[in-house]
Amino acid sequence: MRILAIKDVIRKDTPIYYRRFFSGVASIEFLSNTMDRRIDFFIETLPTGHKQIIVTLAEPVDYPLVPLIKALKTTIDALDTDGKLPL
């Protein structure tokens, strides 16, 4: 399993400045299958300066969730670090 891309990312408005909400589509490759699943996630900056990323899948996936969520968090963190998420 690997995350190919997170595309169509849209930032949702929120009054809380340290919490950023997003929605998008994750392209996931399982064995030889590629599937697109809608995801919602938010990135919260904690008082210590660390980032906390919470991911929820809007559609069911026939794959164990723990490794999938971990891979999505890693990909989202890389996108945020590179500045590729919408402002």
pLDDT recorded at residue 5: 96
Token look-up 């996630």 returns 41
Low-confidence ranges of the chain (pLDDT < 70): none
pLDDT recorded at residue 40: 97
Rounded CA-CA distance 1/64 in Å is: 10
pLDDT recorded at residue 62: 87
Rounded CA-CA distance 25/42 in Å is: 14
Rounded CA-CA distance 76/55 in Å is: 9
pLDDT recorded at residue 32: 87
